[in-house]
Chain A
Amino acid sequence: MRDRQNPVRRQSLTGTRIRERRLALAMRQSDLAQAVDISASYLNLIEHNKRKIGGKLVLDLARALKVEPSRLTEGMDATLSDMLQAAARDTVRSFGPPAETDRIDELAGRFPGWTGLIGEQQKRIAALEAAVEGLQDRLSHDPVLAESMHEVLSTVAAIRSTSDILVREPDLDAQWRGRFHRNLHEEAERLSASATALLAHFEGQGARAETLSTPQEQVEAVFELAGHHFPEIEAGGAAAIPEVLGRMVTLADDDARDLAARHLARYAADAARLPLGEVLAAAAEVDFDPQALLPLAGGDAALLLRRLAALPQGGAQAVPGFGLATCDASGALIFRRRINAFSIPRYGSGCPLWPLYRALGRPMVPDSAVLDLPDGSRFRAWAVCQPIGPAGFGAEPVMEATMLLRALPDDAPASPGAVPVGPGCALCPREACAARRAGGRFG
């Protein structure tokens, strides 16, 4: 609660993270200072966030502290941070003292293993809650289940009424008695069959629920592993899809493989329309600004946003980190490329204030905004809602919104029109937000 009211810029805690990491390694301040060739007193100022650092010194410190530089400058993954915040909010009513949410970075610095474990457990809880929610929904709306239950109850009703007559009517004539015995036998057989079918239905659902990993999650994981970039498809087009798909051995079922194939087919089509060399060269000229690149994509903003999110990292050309979120017309998130400090929820919907959703209300109008996150980090977002698939006379178009995200540097000028957003109501600490969904968490 404290840091919600007084948000601290994630980047301004670099010194704290350096200190926590050094203490976690049981390293003396003077030893670390010597390792990176600065004075101990200067390191002391850095560790107390009284001196800003960057460039080579961050790289040297990260090397000496055996961590990725981003871990020092950006702190832990935003999703993990949000997960810990959510864990603290959910358990505060059940246990005595509230969790020290203003010291999450410190916790992560000192106990990265435990922090990861808490985050994983919170994720697991969220997954189980989503599974329960899904099962509740299934119980209410599954037509197969409703039909099976009706079958069972009708059979039981027939058995109950018939057996009651047989027991309570001692003077029943032989013809009626024979008919009711036959009916009873028929209904018993029917009950056996329908109960077996019902059990099979539940077992089928249970086996799916056990993995707690949807096809979408599996596909996002393999795309993440590939850095959302597939050189074979860039070079060979759609013909290379089977080869790429063949490498995705973690896709557990046909649904996941089908979904991956669909995403790769779109990737190939995008690459054919906007070849890598062309977009990379042009983007470098304009600092990867989608606005300036729109003409290159023939005005197809969604294509451009997807291509920017698929640019290769770590090559000769320095490409900024991009995140991507795609939703259908119902607002359901159907694809995401994660970016470190911006958490896009795995379950449920994102923040209603994201330009992604704003775009749904204004089809074909590219939108852009600076987004302020609860932890103080800022992002530039570009979004557009466009029809997908072929157009047809008199046919309703199927709409899809796409949002590209790019982190703003710490020293970027203030943006007066910045939109305060969050990671979605389920994880967002902005309790006073006017757009907050009633009930907040999974409400």
Chain B
Amino acid sequence: MGRRVLLVEDEINIFEAISFLLSRDGWEVSGHGNGATALDEISRLDPDVLVLDVMLPGRSGLDILRDLRKQPETADLPVLMLTAKGQSKDRDLALALGANAYLTKPFSNSEMVETLNRVATGGQKAGT
């Protein structure tokens, strides 16, 4: 069984592109597009890594991250946050809340794959 990544992203075309890339890299990819029910989906799928967008319908990715870190079973779940370029406040807040790394949109595909692999193997906090 491959490594499992859950991609919480409401933009379907971004999801499809990232999903394709990560599948090619050996990941088993699941997707979810609603912030309000994301915690349930994370609990149900129990992924090895989470890719979490900040701006989601229903609930902010930052709020979801905050709750993840409070729950013992997800406190150590590696999380890669996706933020929009220029939103440095989101990025800083994400790191403060315990994100393992962040990528700012628009990112390159190689950045995405490299960063996710680093996060999955317990690499240091980083981002672009």
Residues of A within 8 A of B (CB): 149-150, 153-154, 156-162, 164-165, 168, 176, 179-180, 183, 186-187
Which residues of B1-41 are within 8 A (CB) of A? 11, 13-14, 16-18, 20-21
What are 12 A-to-B residue pairs whose CB atoms are below 8 Å? A153-B85, A154-B14, A154-B84, A156-B106, A157-B14, A161-B109, A164-B108, A165-B20, A168-B109, A180-B17, A183-B13, A187-B13
**Which chain A residues border B108 with CB–CB below 8 Å?**
160, 164
User: Are B86 and A158 within 8 A (Cβ)?
Assistant: no
B95 in contact (CB, < 8 A): no
Pick the contact of B84: A150, A160, A161, A165 (CB < 8 A): A150
Distance A364 CA – B127 CA, assembled complex (angstroms): 55
Known contacts A153-B105, A154-B14: A161-B112 contact under CB 8 Å: yes
Known contacts A149-B84, A161-B112: A154-B105 contact under CB 8 Å: yes
User: Are A161 and B11 within 8 A (Cβ)?
Assistant: no
> Main secondary structure on chain A at its contact with chain B?
helix
User: Are A179 and B16 within 8 A (Cβ)?
Assistant: yes
**Which chain A residues border B18 with CB–CB below 8 Å?**
161
Distance A164 CA – B20 CA, assembled complex (angstroms): 12
Residues of B within 8 A of A (CB): 11, 13-14, 16-18, 20-21, 55, 84-86, 105-109, 112
Known contacts A157-B106, A157-B107, A164-B109: A150-B17 contact under CB 8 Å: no
Known contacts A164-B109, A165-B20: A158-B14 contact under CB 8 Å: yes
Distance A186 CA – B16 CA, assembled complex (angstroms): 13
Closest Cβ of chain A: how far from B80's Cβ, in Å?
14
Distance A126 CA – B70 CA, assembled complex (angstroms): 48
Q: Give 5 new A-B contacts, CB below 8 A, not counting A161-B109, A165-B21, A180-B17.
A: A153-B85, A157-B106, A157-B107, A158-B11, A161-B21
User: Are A161 and B17 within 8 A (Cβ)?
Assistant: yes
> Closest A-chain residue to B55, C-beta based?
A150
Closest Cβ of chain A: how far from B52's Cβ, in Å?
14
Known contacts A149-B84, A161-B112, A164-B109: A154-B11 contact under CB 8 Å: yes
**Which chain A residues border B13 with CB–CB below 8 Å?**
158, 162, 183, 186-187
Distance A160 CA – B104 CA, assembled complex (angstroms): 13
Known contacts A157-B105, A160-B108: A176-B84 contact under CB 8 Å: no
Known contacts A176-B20, A179-B16: A160-B106 contact under CB 8 Å: yes
Closest Cβ of chain B: how far from A41's Cβ, in Å?
72
> Closest B-chain residue to A161, C-beta based?
B17
**Which chain A residues border B109 with CB–CB below 8 Å?**
160-161, 164-165, 168
Closest Cβ of chain B: how far from A117's Cβ, in Å?
40
8 A-B pairs with least C-beta separation: A161-B17, A157-B105, A157-B106, A158-B13, A183-B13, A156-B106, A160-B106, A153-B84
Q: Which of B13, B20, B85 has the most chain A CB within a 10 Å cutoff? A: B13
> Closest B-chain residue to A147, C-beta based?
B55
**Which chain A residues border B86 with CB–CB below 8 Å?**
149
Distance A186 CA – B17 CA, assembled complex (angstroms): 13
**Which chain B residues border A187 with CB–CB below 8 Å?**
13
**Which chain B residues border A160 with CB–CB below 8 Å?**
106-109
Distance A154 CA – B13 CA, assembled complex (angstroms): 9
**Which chain A residues border B17 with CB–CB below 8 Å?**
158, 161-162, 165, 180, 183
User: Are B14 and A161 within 8 A (Cβ)?
Assistant: yes
Distance A368 CA – B106 CA, assembled complex (angstroms): 59
Distance A162 CA – B15 CA, assembled complex (angstroms): 10
Distance A162 CA – B16 CA, assembled complex (angstroms): 8
> Closest A-chain residue to B14, C-beta based?
A158
Q: Which of A154, A160, A161, A168 has the most chain B CB within a 10 Å cutoff? A: A161
> Closest A-chain residue to B89, C-beta based?
A140
**Which chain A residues border B14 with CB–CB below 8 Å?**
154, 157-158, 161
**Which chain B residues border A154 with CB–CB below 8 Å?**
11, 14, 84, 105
User: Are A153 and B16 within 8 A (Cβ)?
Assistant: no
Distance A158 CA – B13 CA, assembled complex (angstroms): 6
Q: Which of A157, A158, A165, A179 has the most chain B CB within a 10 Å cutoff? A: A157
**Which chain B residues border A153 with CB–CB below 8 Å?**
84-85, 105-106
**Which chain B residues border A159 with CB–CB below 8 Å?**
106
> Closest A-chain residue to B18, C-beta based?
A161
User: Are A156 and B105 within 8 A (Cβ)?
Assistant: yes
Distance A368 CA – B20 CA, assembled complex (angstroms): 73
Q: Which of B17, B84, B109 has the most chain A CB within a 10 Å cutoff? A: B17
**Which chain B residues border A158 with CB–CB below 8 Å?**
11, 13-14, 17
Closest Cβ of chain B: how far from A280's Cβ, in Å?
56
Distance A153 CA – B82 CA, assembled complex (angstroms): 11
Distance A159 CA – B17 CA, assembled complex (angstroms): 9
**Which chain B residues border A168 with CB–CB below 8 Å?**
109
Distance A153 CA – B17 CA, assembled complex (angstroms): 15
> Closest A-chain residue to B112, C-beta based?
A161
Distance A179 CA – B21 CA, assembled complex (angstroms): 14
Distance A183 CA – B13 CA, assembled complex (angstroms): 6
Distance A153 CA – B107 CA, assembled complex (angstroms): 10
Distance A160 CA – B55 CA, assembled complex (angstroms): 19
**Which chain A residues border B105 with CB–CB below 8 Å?**
153-154, 156-157
Distance A156 CA – B85 CA, assembled complex (angstroms): 11
Distance A162 CA – B20 CA, assembled complex (angstroms): 10
